[in-house]
Amino acid sequence: NPSPALAADLDICPAKANNCVRTVFKSPKGTSKKDAAKTLRDAITAYPQEGQNEIDGGGWKIINDDLDGASGLVSLEFSSSGKGKFAKFFNGGKPFVDDTLLQIVDGSDAANVQVRSQSRVGDSDFGVNAKRVDYLFAGLSAKGWTK
């Protein structure tokens, strides 16, 4: 059962999944959905296109951005460089692609963000999704956000 803090539109990660991360980013008390959307969008666009911490070397793109809309959802696609031994051995030299979803939901006293990042293929992501989510969170944490 998902915890109440995770009860939202985004799916929980499959049981025993080693290629999926699901969490919540909590904005500072009193943050409106509009302000949360701006801060979240700033954190996303600050993510380096060349990747970080040896991940996402193939860049990333926004698939759909409705942070300011009714769904409050942004969908992102991240790609590995495709140069590593895992990509060569397991994926025919093609980049691994991961999907990251962030959705703003109204909390009792602030706007919270549901987060889900998952690899499209494979049993394990070797910590890639956690590194990505942690990087995004670090930009928000500097502005008073918590998990």
Instruction: With 0.75 as the threshold, say if the pTM is over it.
Output: yes
Contact yes or no for 19/126 (Cβ under 8 A): no
Question: What is the number of other CB atoms lying within 10 angstroms of the CB of residue 106?
Answer: 12
Q: How much is the pLDDT for 87?
A: 63
Q: How much is the pLDDT for 108?
A: 77
pLDDT one-digit tens code per residue, 84-127: 766 666 667 778 899 999 999 987 788 999 999 999 988 889 89
pLDDT one-digit tens code per residue, 13-55: 998 899 999 999 999 999 999 999 999 999 999 999 999 999 9
Q: How much is the pLDDT for 21?
A: 96
- Paired sense of beta strands 111-119 and 97-106, if any: antiparallel
Q: How much is the pLDDT for 5?
A: 46
Contact yes or no for 116/22 (Cβ under 8 A): yes
Q: How much is the pLDDT for 62?
A: 97
Contact yes or no for 140/107 (Cβ under 8 A): no
